[in-house]
Amino acid sequence: MRAINLITLLLIIIGGVNWLLVGLANFDLVAALFGGQQALLSRIVYVLVGLSALWQLRPFVRAMNVGETAAQANTIRH
């Protein structure tokens, strides 16, 4: 579980940086790297970022229910 959480967090960070660049400079880094927004690789990255956000809802809900410290301790153990 720890590896999945780290990978999904990394993908969410990549997605966040991409949206920052889109908002500030109208530049889609993912599209630039992988051949445009409609390119298969770009679409795969977009889907993986979205799925990662959905995956991270579980720790987020847990943190809201039990407090941040307890949720982090539970995530680290798995």
The pLDDT score that the predictor gives to residue 57 is 94
What is the biggest distance separating any 2 CA atoms in the chain, rounded to whole angstroms? Answer: 43
The pLDDT score that the predictor gives to residue 1 is 79
Read off the pTM: 0.78
Sign of the C-alpha dihedral, residues 32, 38, 41, 42? positive
The pLDDT score that the predictor gives to residue 75 is 60
Which residue, among 58, 14, 55, 9, has the nearest Cα to 33 in the 3D structure? 14
Burial class for 77, CB neighbours closer than 10 Å (0-12, 13-18, 19+): exposed
Question: Average pLDDT, stretch 12-19?
Answer: 97
Q: Per residue in 25-74, pLDDT tens?
A: 999 999 999 999 999 999 999 999 999 999 999 988 988 887 656 656 66
